[in-house]
A and B are shown apart, each in its own frame.
Chain A
Amino acid sequence: MADTLPLVEAKSLVTRARAGDFSALEQLYRAYERPVYTLARRLTRNADDAEDVLQDTFLEVCRSLKQWRGEGNLWGWIRTIAASKALMRYRREKLREWEPLEDDVPRQADDVPLQMDLEAALNRLPERSRQVVWLHDVEGYTHEEIAELMGMTTSFSKSQLARAHDRLRRWLGAGVRA
């Protein structure tokens, strides 16, 4: 996703927000609430978790505004905070409830050519595969960046992406219906 705010405007809002102007902070929030929430929904697949990630992300943004140096786009900085929060939530939940890392889809169902839409197919992917495919193909993160965010290796990221596309191919058939 492209940054919703031009850099000059983003810098101006951040400067005002750092000085304690809450209306500038709200403008930043309004500019990024949808992309942050969308990213969180895609990574957590759960509306309640996504809402928590949205809230935690902006509380972190408020606390850390001084750390954004105005280099690179603001969305990239906020997006990484949001992705970290969402993935951290996933890791915490995995500690509580054991789930196979590789595969939460029945093997038999994998072999049946299904004709489903992309949204349904994406939601059907195992957690890690869905997270990798979204971060890489949609958000544009490199495998190195994904590995760092997830605390895994680049090989893990690459293989998860390939597996995700393998499944999507089988489930979507020849064509892709969004």
Chain B
Amino acid sequence: MSETRHGTLEELVALRDGEGGAWTREHVASCTACAAELERLEQVRAQLRALPAFAPPRDVWPVVLQGARVDRRRRRVSAWSGVVAAAAVVVLGFAVLRHSAAPAPEDVALQKAMAESAAMEQMFQSLHPDRRALSGQAAGVVADLEDQLAQVDAALGDTTAWRSAPARVAGLWKQRAGLLSALVDVHQTRASVAGL
């Protein structure tokens, strides 16, 4: 007496998905039980796809928008930092050539302010601000500080101002160091590292 083997569920699902083997295809063609099971599997899939969609209970767009704004400012600050650093190299080179003997007091003040800013920037980057989660209020404070930083960086990116008003430029670098210090403070006290 020969035993009839029916298709396994895995074989029938594969057949439904157009991946079934030759044996399963031939068997289903002659087995009403397996053909009915295949039909049922197709029916379940169709009914699953017809289940209604869910609507989010709350509108999270304001949170997404706030996050997108902070992210954009952060990228802008990062991009401007590169421009400012390049401008600093050019202008300091110019200053060194101009004062090959003893540097002028305004150049000393400028270099000191730039060193302070560089130190604060290094501290800020070491906190990995992109990996930190901020509350809505802290995110607003960070966004304001980053906006101000972007404005300072834009002013520092104008190299003609460096030559015409070195004292003002040193002031901008001091302002930059202060803003970075405030950002460090917010991230150290009001942010949590994402994923922890």
Contacts of A25-56 to chain B: CB distance below 8 A: 25-26, 29-30, 33-35, 37-38, 41, 47, 50-51, 54-55
**Size band of the B side of the interface?**
20 to 34
Contact A59 B67, beta carbon cutoff 8 Å = yes
Given contacts A34-B54, A37-B55, A62-B67, contact A176 B44 (CB under 8 A): yes
Please state if B68 and A166 are interface contacts (CB–CB under 8 Å): no
**Measured between C-beta atoms, what is the minimum distance from B52 to chain A in Å?**
9
In the complex, what distance in Å separates the CA atom of A58 from the CA atom of B68? Answer: 9
Q: How long is the Cα–Cα vector from A25 to B55 in the complex, in angstroms?
A: 19
Q: Does B64 contact A (CB under 8 A)?
A: yes
Query: Complex: how many Å from CA A38 to CA B48?
Result: 13
Pick the residue among A38, A58, A62, A137 that contacts B54 (CB under 8 A).
A38
Contact between B65 and A34 (Cβ–Cβ < 8 Å)? no
Contact stretch, chosen from B7-15, B83-91, B154-162, B168-176: B7-15
**Interface: A122 (CB within 8 A):** yes
Contacts of A37 in B (CB 8 A): 53-56
Are A51 and B68 in contact (CB-based, < 8 A)? no
A96 to B39, CA, bound (A): 41
CB proximity to B under 8 Å, residues A55-79? 55, 58-59, 62-63
How long is the Cα–Cα vector from A41 to B57 in the complex, in angstroms?
12
CB <8 Å contact, A33 and B41:
no
Task: Please name all residues of chain B whose beta carbon is closer than 8 Å to the beta carbon of A51 when the two chains form the complex.
Answer: 56-58, 60
Give chain A residues whose Cβ lies under 8 Å from the Cβ of B43: 176
Among B9, B60, B68, B72, contact of A165 (Cβ-Cβ < 8 Å): B9
Bound together, the chains give a CA A166 to CA B9 distance in angstroms of: 7
Q: Mark A164-175, 1 if CB is under 8 A from B, else 0.
A: 011011001010
Asked if residues B48 and A138 are in contact (CB atoms below 8 Å), the reply is yes
Does residue B99 face the partner (Cβ distance < 8 Å to A)?
no
Within 8 A of B (CB), among A106-133: 118-119, 122, 133
B43-75 contact mask (Cβ, 8 Å, vs A): 1 or 0: 111011111011111101101110111011000
A134 at the interface (CB under 8 A from B): yes
Beyond A119-B51, A165-B13, whether A20 also contacts B8 by CB under 8 A is no
Question: Of all chain B residues, which has the CB nearest A119?
Answer: B51
Distance between Cα atoms of A166 and B11 in the complex (Å)? 12
If A51-B56, A62-B71 are given as contacts, then 8 extra A-B residue pairs at C-beta distance below 8 Å, sorted by A number, are A20-B72, A22-B68, A25-B68, A119-B51, A122-B51, A158-B10, A176-B40, A176-B44
**Can you give 22 contacting A-B residue pairs, CB < 8 Å?**
A20-B72, A22-B65, A25-B68, A33-B60, A33-B61, A34-B55, A34-B56, A37-B54, A38-B53, A38-B54, A54-B56, A54-B60, A55-B63, A62-B64, A137-B48, A161-B13, A162-B13, A165-B9, A165-B44, A166-B9, A168-B44, A169-B40
